[in-house]
Amino acid sequence: MTLRLSQVALNPIQWTNLPADPSVPGSVSRWLYGEPSFRADYPRVLRSVAAAGFDATMMEVLDTQTLQDYARMVTEAGLRVAPGYASIGLPEDAGVELERGSAEWQRWFNGVRRKAEESNYFGLDTVFLAPEVDYRLPRWSEKAAIGHLRDSARLERQIEMFAEAADVLAAEGVRAGLHNHVGTWIETEDEIEAVLAAIPAERLSASFDIGHLAWAGIDPVEMTARHADRILDLHLKDLDLALAARTRDQPGPYDAISTAEFFVEPGRGDIDLDGVLAALPEAFAGWIIIEVDQVHGDPDRSAALSRAWVESTFAS
């Protein structure tokens, strides 16, 4: 199998997910995508992606801008757009109860519909579909990566929401891939497998985050090989696996762990990324999105390190 540079994009998250203030215990990372003031800095960030040598960026249209405005930014930076990220949470986590089929139930999926619209606008037919990241959830705020407070009934409800969201996307011609994320209700191997077993492959594919698999103690090579025929796209990052194991032995809040230099650029950790790529099917034509969730240093250097690994790994 030959993977091409044209299949690789960068998520510019290292410029937008700033470390929590270590002087404030339990402080939550600053998520600049959610701040209206970031609109003014977004063009510079996209130019930095291009300056690092990438020609594609993960789609992330701000809530405070139009599709056309984002398209102009991307074009002016000389970039292409790679598949974006949709999420769906549980109503009860927001303190509400929804009757299936009600108007409120329909509105619960408006964010997913928006992602379908964005994808279609940019000619993309796949999307990463993840459980909602909520800083208030106990898996984020208390103990990450170990399946804290696992609950089979809650998992069934999350599966129901995933199935509905995947169908909403499919109705608009966009294929959804399950995207695992530590700190959410789908983070462990048994939870991922439960979702994939419950929802047929023709309704839900797999778009794993390799780093989050490893953090949760899942073998990314074996997991990729097991579901190779179902994988649409991937997020790649690296980790110190011994450090990740220590965080599972002594679990703590997501932000407390990621305040250290936890996520690193591909090639700087211990994940067998070559093995992951080799486990993909021969005809794999999906996207490989490089994503270093949080950088504790110069984001431009981080992007350059990621690009150096890409150029040493992928064919032109």
Question: Taking the model in full, what pTM does it have?
Answer: 0.96
Helix axis angle, 110-121 to 152-171, nearest 10°: 40
10: β partners: 57, 290
CATH of domain 5-313: 3.20.20.150
Place of tokens 């170990």: 146
Domain map of the chain by residue range? 5-313
- DSSP at 259: T
Task: Examine the pLDDT at 263 and tell me if it is beyond 70.
Answer: yes
206: β partners: 178, 231
What is the SS3 assignment for 94?
A: helix
- Concatenated DSSP letters for 63-83? TTS-HHHHHHHHHHTT-EEE-
127: β partners: 176
The larger pLDDT score, comparing residue 6 to residue 20, is at 6
Q: pLDDT-derived band of residue 258, with 50, 70 and 90 as boundaries?
A: confident
**Average pLDDT of the chain to the nearest whole number:** 95
Average pLDDT of the residues in 55-72:
97
CB atoms within 10 A of CB 92: 11
**What phi and psi values does residue 149 have, to the nearest 5 degrees?**
55, 40
